[in-house]
Structure 1
Amino acid sequence: MDPIIPSQETESTPMSATNQSTHQTCEKILTLYFLTLISALVGLAGNTVVLWLLGFSIRRNAISVYVLHLAVADFLFLCCRCIDSLIQVVNFYEFNIYTYGILSNGAIIPYISGLSILSAISIERCLSILWPIWYHCHRPRNMSAIICAVIWALALAMSILDWHYSGFLAWAYYDSESWKKVDLIITAFLIFLFMVLSGSSLILLVRILCSSRQIPLTRLYVTISLTVVVFLICGLPLGIYWFLLYWLQIHQYYPFCHLYQVTVFLSCINSCANPIIYFFVGSFRQQKRQTLKMVLQRALQDTPEEYRWRDSQPQETIEMSQSKIG
């Protein structure tokens, strides 16, 4: 009958519900950070192996130069995400917004570079299929290295503009309108790369499957196709959120409050999957045990299996005859 007791009970119920909802939200975010950290560590190990093999053990060609720079982009992106996730897991309730800003903005450069390099690989494959004579006769020798250098410089320039107008740099000032224009330019560039990547991949698929003159399927085409598919599923959502959905303030609504961390986790899966794709394609249908170097070389080979087998026959015959004579 005391009027104070019911009022206390009615006030404590919403507070307990709010605390429970906040606790569940923190658990979900912390779980996403753990998953991101684990995937980033696995991806760092895989890309380190790819970097070592392509950098010091395997003779580089036009495609392997692109794959090397793609591994560098994945490695740098995973480094930023791994450090960020580790800091958030250790100091989850002491959120350092400045450290978060450094790592989040630093990951923009390898993300844009990775998408650009993947698009360049698809364009090169299209040119080699549609105009093979012109491609092999008129292509500059160091074209892959030049294109990769231009891609890294362009990604760095766009990122610096984004940092400048967002007020992230120490000497910069915050300009909302200019920042939005820069992000729209980057969004348009990413959309252009997405269209180029999708269009060139579709042309490759149609040319291989529906052409009147049968084009043999090589391991390199399978590797590129799987890499593109994984990026479109796992890597592209982060770019859409980063430069487009952020301005819609969609992250403020409850169903989408974890969307950014989900896209970060998916992008780590994309960077982690690339080395797995290389070694899976290179070791597919191989009964005898091979080294990682041989597996990676097979994943990037642009020669059909039957042609390699025919070419190896004379050499094997010579070796057998020499052994018999001996």
Structure 2
Amino acid sequence: MESADFEFTYNSDYNYENNTYNNSETIGEEVSFKVHTTTCFTQVMCLLLLVVNVIIFLLGIGGNGVVIWIAGFAMKKSVNTTWYLSLAVSDFIFCSCLPFNIVYSVTYDWIFGLFMCKFTSFVMFLNMFSSIFLLVIISVDRCVAVMFPVWAQNHRTIGKASLIIVLAWVFSAALSIPSMVYRDVQNHLGTNRCMNNYTSSMYTHETIALSRFIFGFVIPFLLIIVCYTIILCRLRALHMAKSSKPFKIMTALILTFFLCWMPYHTFVLIEINHSFHFNEVVAHGLRIGTTVVAANSFLNPVLYVFMGNDFRKKFKSSILSKIENAIGEEGRTMSRYLSRSSSVDAKASTHI
């Protein structure tokens, strides 16, 4: 059983027709192959996805590089900048691997060897797990700050935030190992294909796909929903619903992540049902889904810019100032919220 988790020329487990060559024709005991000379530049969808991915690579490297510089070097270190710095690093690493898949989509031939075949697949899922785990951590952090403001003000430290981030990355790497273990380079008609090889067990593909969906999508989504429900109820109880500005960027990041990853997970789950009725639909869906996944990595810096202050004011400042203001504004507002909530809790305690 063979599969390609992430490549713009998607090849599936169940023998969908490949862009480069057709299925073999058997006459008696003789086997002949029809080799097509079509390239990505002669196919509209492939060419369109190629252009989109080149744009994603350029914007992702540039945008996340700027965020890393600002959050890591230009701004005063805080818990909030620590969260967003880690997100930017994850997206930057992912975008750095896009050129390998872009070249693969043009040539239909994996020329970078077995190690890079395994590594690029590993990086994709490392990005997926680390991003969603960081979003869960930030949601829990917001929830704790709202429910226990005094405790949060005294215990939210950069050191503890850094330790939590390290643990999240270790857990993400552990869950991404199967994508590296089962990735393989196989030669077909003189061309190398970077794809998954699940020959060890007929249920390996289903198990890995379901585990990614559950641990990288369903459970994090439920945890985030619970955290935001608690936050909203708490703010309304304190008549501070209008003070929820620190959660704007976080909400946008979460919505963007799930909207970008949902199509990919949906088509993967359809694929493992072994249905041959919609082979072409699934193949095209996965090509588009992987491109939408890549788009998530350059959208985050865009959100940092446009979710901070009033849109018209942003044109009066530089891009660096925009991102710094967007990240710094959330930290300042959170500090004001914690101080206000702490004083409210202190007054309440004196009346008991």
- When residues 23 and 119 of structure 1 are mapped into structure 2, their CA distance, relative to the original with a 3 A threshold, is closer
- Structure 1 pair 294–217 and aligned structure 2 pair: CA distance change class (3 A): farther
The one of 285, 308, 316 aligned to 1:259 = 285
Residue in 2 that maps onto 1:115? 132
Find the partner of 2:251 among 206, 220, 225.
225
| Candidates 149, 155, 158, aligned match of 2:175 | 158
Other-structure match for 2:231:
204
Decide which structure has greater helix share.
1
Structure 1 CA distance for aligned equivalents of residues 225 and 147 of structure 2: 16
Aligned residues: 282
Matching of residue 295 in structure 1 with residue 312 in structure 2: no
| Greater gyration radius | 1
What secondary structure, in the 3-state scheme, does the structure 2 residue paired with 1:258 have? helix
Q: Please state whether the residue corresponding to 1:60 is helix, strand or coil.
A: coil
1:207-260 per-position Cα deviation (integer Å, ceiling 9, x unaligned):
44x334224435431111111111121234334545x44422468612222111
Correspondence for 2:220 among 189, 193, 207: 193
Q: Deviations over 1:175-234 (max 9, x none)?
A: 2245543443333212211211233234434544x3342244354311111111111212
Instruction: Give yes or no for contact 1:117–1:151 (8 Å, CA) kept in 2.
Output: yes
Q: Structure 2 length normalisation: TM-score?
A: 0.68
Instruction: Compare 194-203 and 150-159 and name the one that shifted more.
Output: 194-203
Q: Which residue of 2 aligns with 1:9?
A: none
Q: Partner amino acid for 1:204?
A: I
State the shift of 1:298 in Å.
2.5
> SS at 2:97's partner residue?
helix
Q: What are the within-5 Å matches in structure 2 for residues 61-210 of structure 1? A: 61-89=78-106, 91-92=107-108, 94=109, 102-139=119-156, 141-164=158-181, 166=182, 168=184, 174-176=199-201, 177-178=203-204, 180-190=206-216, 191-208=218-235, 210=236
In structure 1, how many angstroms separate the alpha carbons of the residues matched to 2:158 and 2:174?
26
Unaligned runs of 5+ in 1: 1-18, 309-326
Q: CA RMSD in A?
A: 3.5
Counterpart of 1:175 in 2: which secondary structure?
coil
1:37 aligns with 2:54: yes
The CA deviation at 1:46 is 0.6
SS at match of 2:307: helix
Q: Which has the higher strand share?
A: 2
The 1:68–1:77 alpha-carbon spacing in structure 2 relative to 1, beyond 3 Å, is: same
Tell me the residue number matched to 2:43: 26
Q: Which amino acid aligns with 2:272?
A: W
Worse overlay, 152-161 or 25-34:
25-34
Work out whether 1:56 is the aligned partner of 2:73: yes
Q: Distance in 1 between matches of 2:311 and 2:160?
A: 33
In structure 1, distance between residues paired with 2:45 and 2:312: 42
Q: Are the counterparts in 1 of residues 117 and 183 from structure 2 also a CA contact under 8 Å?
A: no
Pair 1:95–1:199, CA change in 2 (3 A): same
Instruction: Report the AA paired with residue 155 of structure 1.
Output: S
Distance change in 2, residues 1:293/1:35 (3 Å): closer
Task: Give the conservation status (yes or no) of the 8 Å contact 1:219–1:298.
Answer: no
Supply the AA of the counterpart residue of 1:143: K
The alignment's TM-score, normalised by the length of structure 1, stands at: 0.73
Q: Secondary structure at the match of 1:192?
A: helix
Give the residue type in structure 2 aligned to 1:247.
I
**How far 1:87 sits from its partner (Å)?**
3.5
Give the direction of change, closer, same or farther, for the CA distance of 1:245–1:201 in structure 2 (3 Å limit).
farther
Change (3 A) 1:229 1:173: closer
Q: 1:287 to 1:238 in 2, by over 3 A?
A: same
> Relative to 1, partners in 2 of residues 1:132 and 1:215: Cα closer, same or farther, differing over 3 Å?
farther
Moved more, 41-50 or 275-284: 275-284
Unaligned runs of 5+ in 2: 1-35, 186-196, 338-352
Q: Which amino acid aligns with 1:188?
A: I
**Residue in structure 2 matching 1:276, options 288, 296, 302:** 302
Percent identical: 22
Q: Which moved more, 1:229-238 or 1:50-59?
A: 229-238
1:2-17 aligned at under 5 Å gives the runs none
For 1:111, the aligned partner's letter is M
Aligned residues of 1:88 and 1:95 also touching (Cα < 8 A):
no
Bigger RCO (CA 8 Å, 6+ sep): 2
